[in-house]
Structure 1
């Protein structure tokens, strides 16, 4: 039976924990990453107060009229507001939807800025400045910045645990993540009646894999998230009380040559009597340095399964974003696209 395991990662957050306790957590993470690519983590140390601040900020912003929210849209950069039906996640795999830009959700994205790091000549396309609706939603920025800091810290704890789980030397990924492209994408699946046409096939968020190293997801405990298993079947996943969902992205799958899974997932929010039940989520993407090269880790390739061709973090992300936002199919996405094609034929 398909399950997303619940893992208590507190030994990695507690300096007083023993090596044996951390080793057991690493074993569980390796098992989940190998078999599912998704896990639910507890013992993460993020308080309910932080979640309450996050959700209040999201509600305040998304309750604004659509035309007001559009004032914070950004063209050509993965920052600011994205209106409904302006993106297609399945195109990040080169798989077009029937109506290409058909993903129903609206989103607001913030992320790492170049000024945060003492590194010369960071490309603006990877580290743009953020857009903030300070004049419209007073408490939005402090709440979101607080959540960003919390999940960023958690991501580095998880990377430490993943390093141990892969049997790599301590700090193996440090030089690949010291000026990481991190992003927080906050999604909303409900709009007031009349703001968008709901006729025709409705896609909440198209099937896709995440682009970077790992993702930390908070989501309402509402149906919608679906995960693809190895046999091509979709399964509903809802977060347990107090848990955050963690999944691996393309960078980790490429590093491990798919020993660990960058699992396909999508969102189909429930519709009752023609209305979408409210569903909110906030996905923190820990993506790595723009110039870090993703090459197969030692022991993860063989004559029967050669590794992926080398690619930088930025090249991979930019290709996927071009698909998602502009409908330009990325190169080297054949493995993921084939998995989605197989799943579609099996439905």
Structure 2
């Protein structure tokens, strides 16, 4: 492991009424984690255990359906909603990195997001803020997922508040970029029936990638599989701590800070035990920002190397999705792709 670890940070001072000193220490610790790793184990987040249990039940209920039934909830690739079958995406292509077998990631997923109707009075692109495809015949699914969605949204916005303090910005700085944020919850399942995949050492659950937006809040089973690319150029296993949510930075935060806070590369290489894949579930809440927001390097970070060129959230997100879902190489991801190629075992 070479001393690699993902720091644990308690954010309860921001969830409740913490003192200025306690909040300052929390912001300092989060800043250290973002600069050194880009991943952090967040505790003190306040998400009720019952809500997480409800999410687990919803994930199990949907992915337990027959494949043909699940495929009935597919959307076109440009619409980030509904079901994604195994081997229909390749996350490495979101970075412009060619995969050995295009569309080879074997995970399956179900996405829900915020529809345009949630932001009345604002004209928004229908594809980006599409209605959700709620599965029929699972009455507990929608309320359980919506309950977790609301909690994850609260945690994400709490984190951006801490980010502003940690970066020396005015309180609430990021609020102007997130008033109609393009947020999505992706529920993932890494288990397939025997014979569906070849169980070898090169099996890819989810290819190496960075997350697209501002920040990701991840609930995951305490099972092996998640790997993070360290500053040493090697991949390191990450196991979620008991009761923690994994938080990682997205590309937009890297652009704002000119890579002082990197969007850390990660992948899933699930273990094969006794000839079968050990099941692993996760749910990633992507807090991506307003579709029309223009992201430029923060004034206090322009002197640290060459700044990223300005880009809108729409341009960035669409290029990433066109790569992972349609196989079109991303022209905006040179820095991230270079890190993948330089990895010790890439």
Establish whether residue 9 from structure 1 lines up as the match of residue 6 from structure 2: no
Q: Residues of 2 paired with 1:184 and 1:346: CA distance?
A: 30
Q: Residues of 1 paired with 2:199 and 2:274: CA distance?
A: 13
Secondary structure of residue in 2 paired with 1:173 = helix
> Unaligned regions of 5+ residues in structure 2, if any?
none
Secondary structure of residue in 2 paired with 1:299 = helix
Q: Residues of 1 paired with 2:325 and 2:332: CA distance?
A: 18
Matched with 2:324 is 324
Secondary structure of residue in 2 paired with 1:216 = strand
Establish whether residue 307 from structure 1 lines up as the match of residue 314 from structure 2: no
Do the aligned partners of 2:316 and 2:332 also contact (CA within 8 Å) in 1? no
Matched with 1:253 is 254
Do the aligned partners of 2:180 and 2:289 also contact (CA within 8 Å) in 1? yes
Matched with 1:92 is 94
Establish whether residue 57 from structure 1 lines up as the match of residue 58 from structure 2: yes
Deviations 1:134-181 (A, max 9, x none): x22221111001100000011111110111000000121111100000
Q: Residues of 2 paired with 1:2 and 1:197: CA distance?
A: 31
Q: Residues of 2 paired with 1:284 and 1:239: CA distance?
A: 16
Matched with 1:278 is 279
Aligned-pair distance for 1:202? 1.8
Secondary structure of residue in 1 paired with 2:243 = coil
Matched with 1:101 is 103
Aligned length: 342
Q: TM-score, normalised by structure 2?
A: 0.97
Which range moved further: 32-41 or 200-209?
200-209
Q: Residues of 2 paired with 1:315 and 1:112: CA distance?
A: 19
Q: TM-score, normalised by structure 1?
A: 0.96
Establish whether residue 233 from structure 1 lines up as the match of residue 249 from structure 2: no
Do the aligned partners of 2:199 and 2:272 also contact (CA within 8 Å) in 1? no
Aligned-pair distance for 1:48? 1.1
Instruction: Give runs of aligned pairs for residues 202-217 of structure 1, distance below 5 A.
Output: 202-217=203-218
Matched with 1:124 is 126
Matched with 1:172 is 173
Establish whether residue 265 from structure 1 lines up as the match of residue 263 from structure 2: no
Aligned-pair distance for 1:301? 1.6
Aligned-pair distance for 1:107? 0.2
Q: Residues of 2 paired with 1:289 and 1:314: CA distance?
A: 8
Aligned-pair distance for 1:339? 0.2
Aligned-pair distance for 1:191? 2.0
Aligned-pair distance for 1:346? 4.3
Secondary structure of residue in 1 paired with 2:137 = coil
Secondary structure of residue in 2 paired with 1:72 = coil
Secondary structure of residue in 2 paired with 1:145 = helix
Q: Residues of 2 paired with 1:231 and 1:290: CA distance?
A: 34
Q: Residues of 2 paired with 1:153 and 1:199: CA distance?
A: 39
**Cα–Cα, structure 1 residues 322 and 19, in superposed 2: closer, same or farther, change >3 Å?**
same
Aligned-pair distance for 1:231? 1.8
Q: Residues of 2 paired with 1:108 and 1:198: CA distance?
A: 23
**Cα–Cα, structure 1 residues 305 and 33, in superposed 2: closer, same or farther, change >3 Å?**
same
Aligned-pair Cα RMSD in Å: 1.2
Q: Residues of 2 paired with 1:23 and 1:88: CA distance?
A: 40
Q: Residues of 2 paired with 1:50 and 1:129: CA distance?
A: 23
Secondary structure of residue in 1 paired with 2:299 = coil
Aligned-pair distance for 1:25? 0.1
Do the aligned partners of 2:218 and 2:283 also contact (CA within 8 Å) in 1? yes
Q: Residues of 1 paired with 2:40 and 2:199: CA distance?
A: 35
Q: Residues of 1 paired with 2:80 and 2:13: CA distance?
A: 35
Aligned-pair distance for 1:306? 1.6
Aligned-pair distance for 1:273? 2.4
Secondary structure of residue in 2 paired with 1:144 = helix
Q: Residues of 2 paired with 1:107 and 1:20: CA distance?
A: 41
**Cα–Cα, structure 1 residues 188 and 346, in superposed 2: closer, same or farther, change >3 Å?**
closer
